[in-house]
Structure 1
């Protein structure tokens, strides 16, 4: 199973410019998470900070008891071996064929024989759909193939955590869907923890178990996908629909005068752009038939059902509706019962994710083994 990543109060600046501050979230082990946000909000900087390439000013990033922010260089070097990273353009060596590109980490960081390296490299190339292409140079293949080769290289050291930076960069919508399917398939096979940074709304709505969003130097929210996809937060709705109507502008945020001027323009009939009303929670992508089920799915359901009573009303309804009748009985919940509960209590503010219910109204988890981490601060679930 992939490693849990616990981030608390992480703050990063370049000189006097704060990139983001007090970011607190937990990446659950073996689950797929996505980080959204407008361009320039520091999403790639966040990935680099997680693996120690950049040093935050405050906070902690703890993996298997090691704080990446404060640990020694020796500890940092060892902990980095737990990571696999897929960069935006694949970051392949142009003078090496795909085989040597994928073999590079094994030759640099292990003492494996060439026969063992060959076995591993061919296995990872097959896993990413590149069997037979091992002799090709990066310049001889498509952008989608370069992405897959970069993923194969990220997998050769059997990482517990995989970081993916803008996987749709340079890809058309169809190839983006194929690479999205590949992430789900790899997660099903190795049960690693994924964090994907993306602007692609289709990927964000159909792939992850959890979604977070950075805006105005802060983490707007992070939690189960149903929370963000049903959120009424203006910045979240604007981003998911890709419209000009909302707080995000060309320079990340608008002032009140610009928002008022644009509002008058839209009310006068000018189209705000974007897609028309992307709402609701679509079905999540599943592993390709013939592959094992994702182990993270069951752990996620147990974890989410433990915190169900703390989530906003619409997210609760969506989560319960997604359960089979057997699962609803297993967890002791049902749509009618939940609707009555919502009517009696009212909604919970989406930023705070807090609330209490009588013990007999909290979802039951008979026989559940995975224990959710304690709540570590606002926005972490």
Structure 2
């Protein structure tokens, strides 16, 4: 199983400009998580801080007992071997063909023979749909192929944690769906921990097990997809529907005058843009036929059902309706029977609060405002 990542009070600034502060969350091991946020909220900075490319001002980022914020350079170098990173443009070496690009980490970090390297490289190229393209240069292939080559390179060391920065950058919606399918297929086969940074709404709705959102320099929410997709929090609802109507403006945050002017415009019949209002929980993409069942998805659903009774009634009903009849039977729940005061009985191992990848129920729908909350020990 992939490694668990525990982040506590992480803060990053450049000079006097705070990018985000006091970010606390846990990436559940073996699950696919997505970090959302408007452009310019520091999502890519967050990824770079997780692997020590940027040094946070304070806080912790614990991976297998190692705090990458305070550890030695030698320990950081060793811990980075647990990561595979897919950058926005693939970050391939332009003078190397795809084979040598993918082989580079193996030649740099291992003492494997060229025969073993060849076996691994061809395996990863086939996994990412690039079999037969190993002799091509990055400049000779499409953007989607460069993304897949970058993913193949990220996979050659069999990482426990895979970080993905804006996978839809430069890709059309169809190719974005294909690479999203590839992430889930890799997760099904490896049970690696994924964190994907994006502002792609369709990807956010259908791919991850967990969703988080950065806004106003803070982590608004982080938790299982079912919690955020049924949330009535205005900023989350606005972002997931891509509408102008809400707290997010062109310069991230609107003032009261702009909010009032826009509200009058919408009441006069002006369309707020975005997609149609989405209700309920869209189905999650599944691994390709023939691949193993994703264990991370099972663990997430167990965790959601353990906190079901703490959620608003509408969220409870939406979650129950999203379950298959077999899952409803397993968890002992049925639609259209009102709220649940007690958690369903399920056969799972108890999970410590800070490892559940969820906010406490009293914090689930609260956005940071002028008076910032004090985080409790159970926040994640």
Contact 1:144-1:175 at 8 Å conserved across structures: yes
CA distance in 1, matches of 2:236, 2:195: 19
Per the alignment, residue 372 of structure 2 pairs with none
Name whichever of 113-122 and 293-302 sits farther off: 293-302
Per the alignment, residue 144 of structure 2 pairs with 144
Per the alignment, residue 253 of structure 1 pairs with 253
Q: What 5-or-longer segments of structure 2 have no aligned partner?
A: 364-378
CA distance in 2, matches of 1:283, 1:86: 26
CA distance in 1, matches of 2:33, 2:79: 20
Per the alignment, residue 179 of structure 1 pairs with 179
- SS of equivalent to 1:181: helix
Query: Per-residue displacement from partner, 1:340-374 (whole Å, max 9, x unpaired)?
Result: 43xxxxxxxxxxxxxxx5xxx222223x24x4232
**Count of aligned pairs:** 360
TM superposition shift of 1:247: 1.2
- SS of equivalent to 1:335: coil
TM superposition shift of 1:125: 0.3
Contact 2:320-2:334 at 8 Å conserved across structures: yes
Q: Indicate yes or no: 2:59 matched with 1:78.
A: no
Per the alignment, residue 289 of structure 2 pairs with 289
Query: Per-residue displacement from partner, 1:39-77 (whole Å, max 9, x unpaired)?
Result: 000000000011111111121111111111111111111
Query: Per-residue displacement from partner, 1:65-116 (whole Å, max 9, x unpaired)?
Result: 1111111111111111000000000000000000000000000111111000
Query: Per-residue displacement from partner, 1:281-304 (whole Å, max 9, x unpaired)?
Result: 111000111111111122222222
Per the alignment, residue 369 of structure 2 pairs with none
Per the alignment, residue 375 of structure 1 pairs with 354
CA distance in 1, matches of 2:291, 2:191: 12
CA distance in 2, matches of 1:309, 1:81: 40
Contact 1:227-1:312 at 8 Å conserved across structures: no
- CA RMSD after TM alignment: 1.6
Per the alignment, residue 99 of structure 1 pairs with 99
Contact 2:33-2:210 at 8 Å conserved across structures: yes
Matches within 5 A, 1:119-268: 119-268=119-268
Contact 1:60-1:69 at 8 Å conserved across structures: yes
Contact 2:281-2:319 at 8 Å conserved across structures: no
TM-score normalised per structure 2: 0.91
Per the alignment, residue 58 of structure 1 pairs with 58
> Structure 1 residues 322, 277: CA separation in 2 closer, same or farther (over 3 Å shift)?
closer
Contact 2:13-2:57 at 8 Å conserved across structures: yes
TM superposition shift of 1:173: 0.6
CA distance in 2, matches of 1:154, 1:7: 22
> Structure 1 residues 133, 61: CA separation in 2 closer, same or farther (over 3 Å shift)?
same
CA distance in 1, matches of 2:339, 2:177: 39
Query: Per-residue displacement from partner, 1:138-164 (whole Å, max 9, x unpaired)?
Result: 000000000000000000000000000
Per the alignment, residue 270 of structure 2 pairs with 270
Name whichever of 301-310 and 163-172 sits farther off: 301-310
- SS of equivalent to 2:213: strand
TM superposition shift of 1:323: 2.9
Per the alignment, residue 343 of structure 2 pairs with 362
> Structure 1 residues 312, 67: CA separation in 2 closer, same or farther (over 3 Å shift)?
farther
- SS of equivalent to 2:85: strand
Contact 2:309-2:316 at 8 Å conserved across structures: yes
TM superposition shift of 1:171: 0.4
- SS of equivalent to 2:95: coil
Contact 1:11-1:23 at 8 Å conserved across structures: yes
CA distance in 2, matches of 1:246, 1:59: 31
Per the alignment, residue 306 of structure 1 pairs with 306
Per the alignment, residue 354 of structure 1 pairs with none
Contact 2:128-2:148 at 8 Å conserved across structures: yes
TM superposition shift of 1:226: 1.2
CA distance in 2, matches of 1:290, 1:142: 28
TM-score normalised per structure 1: 0.91
